[in-house]
Structure 1
């Protein structure tokens, strides 16, 4: 590939504010020699070992997510509280004021992702015990987010899927009270999407907790769901430590709730 062709390819394959690994750039047809020369002459800057961005614009955290999604083979998308925030439902800023971006994937994130200097930290959530991989690729429950015109969109969970992902974090990382407060504002969930998600969901705790909270809040969409249509497992599930047993759903919940 001639240098001017390689330069054009680099601009096409590596938009501003995004990153790319050396391996991925080679897969796009750029030679190792050209990549190394681009670093030496300043056309490419090092974001992390073996990861680059175009020196005209440093990467943003949304650019990193968009880059990751197009480079990895496993499905990966924003979910949980991060996805709810994009829907305008919740916030995902920690005490330091730095966003925590929740990424959901069956495979672990590459080590370089938290080495790139952006104003966010990335948190991996494994999905092998929550969703089958087919659902992780199901466009019915995913949404595109246009973070910059003309650049690859970021994929994130629909509200219904994101909320079930939040429940998977109860009570270790998210409190019962927080999950309950979130659901109080979700008046317009789609029974059709919930049916799809509850059918595919692999996690009995998440499904039972969802039905307990849905019944507790008596949202209008709850009457369209039939709990016996879904695999809710058998036996008790201890979720709240030192909680009370909720006999209908066979889960322990906080005594004060």
Structure 2
């Protein structure tokens, strides 16, 4: 038999659609004996060894929101996935399930891709992109209320997401795709961009950003001067066999 009070506490802690790991539940005060009994009585459903759902349907939003509240290291939906949540990008036509980019300084837990859910999770490390304080700054994070009364899902603001996406060029996303996305970025905040560019430690990303920004000449660009940011020295070959762009010292596709 399960202790009634402990069962009530579990229900409050683990609402419908949210999941939890055994170590996290233990840290909340539930002992192993209680957790074992909860599994035997079907109060908790194992999704993979050491990860439980109390009730409800497993969604990628619930998985990520659960991960975000259990981890000490900031984890945010970022890059193209964040732009999709913001409504300024769309999943590729014909895709069977969304690919969700999760940005964090530490690698994602292994259990994440062992759960049966209609999404694929991919990790983007942030140590070669952001200074440490950027990931913990809520100024660059937005909340997605994916379900009423449940913890919100946190994702990168568009200014942060586009810079995260540029890190993936050209291996995971093409020049043409990010160029199309940048074309629609009319409403970016120059104040946020300024802080992010100062907190960005990746020379390739910053040079690509300014090359794209100057291609489209959005109004916010006049508030940003490339001289204020550390753009490094020397050439960077980004597009193999491409054209050398002397202003930003990068190679870009010849057709662009």
**Whole-angstrom CA distance in 2 between matches of 1:93 and 1:42:** 38
Structure 1 residue ranges without an equivalent (≥5): none
The CA deviation at 1:95 is 4.5
Please give the secondary structure, in 1, of the residue aligned with 2:181.
helix
Given that 1:195 and 1:225 are in contact with CA atoms closer than 8 Å, whether structure 2 keeps it comes out as yes
When the two chains are superposed, the root-mean-square deviation of aligned CA atoms in Å is: 1.1
Aligned to 1:4: 4
The CA deviation at 1:58 is 2.7
Given that 1:93 and 1:100 are in contact with CA atoms closer than 8 Å, whether structure 2 keeps it comes out as no
Aligned to 2:25: 25
Would you say how many aligned residue pairs link Structure 1 and Structure 2? 255
**Whole-angstrom CA distance in 2 between matches of 1:224 and 1:118:** 43
The CA deviation at 1:220 is 1.1
Higher mean Cα deviation, 197-206 or 9-18? 9-18
Report whether the alignment pairs 1:246 with 2:248. no
**Whole-angstrom CA distance in 2 between matches of 1:105 and 1:181:** 26
TM-score by length of 2: 0.97
Aligned to 2:38: 38
**Whole-angstrom CA distance in 2 between matches of 1:92 and 1:206:** 23
Query: Structure 1 runs of 4+ off > 3 angstroms?
Result: 92-96
Given that 1:94 and 1:100 are in contact with CA atoms closer than 8 Å, whether structure 2 keeps it comes out as no
Higher mean Cα deviation, 143-152 or 205-214? 143-152
The C-alpha deviation readout for 1:27-85, integer Å capped at 9, x for no partner, is 1011100101110111111111100001x313211000000001111110000000000
**Whole-angstrom CA distance in 1 between matches of 2:92 and 2:72:** 29
Mapping for residues 1-257 of structure 1, pairs under 5 Å: 3-54=3-54, 56-93=55-92, 95-257=94-256
**Whole-angstrom CA distance in 2 between matches of 1:130 and 1:6:** 43
Please give the secondary structure, in 1, of the residue aligned with 2:151.
coil
Given that 1:76 and 1:105 are in contact with CA atoms closer than 8 Å, whether structure 2 keeps it comes out as yes
Given that 1:38 and 1:44 are in contact with CA atoms closer than 8 Å, whether structure 2 keeps it comes out as yes
**Whole-angstrom CA distance in 1 between matches of 2:66 and 2:28:** 14
**Whole-angstrom CA distance in 1 between matches of 2:208 and 2:177:** 13
TM-score by length of 1: 0.97
**Whole-angstrom CA distance in 2 between matches of 1:72 and 1:166:** 23
**Whole-angstrom CA distance in 2 between matches of 1:12 and 1:92:** 34
The CA deviation at 1:14 is 1.0
**Whole-angstrom CA distance in 1 between matches of 2:84 and 2:137:** 21
Structure 2 residue ranges without an equivalent (≥5): none
The CA deviation at 1:133 is 2.3
Given that 1:66 and 1:154 are in contact with CA atoms closer than 8 Å, whether structure 2 keeps it comes out as yes
The CA deviation at 1:23 is 0.7
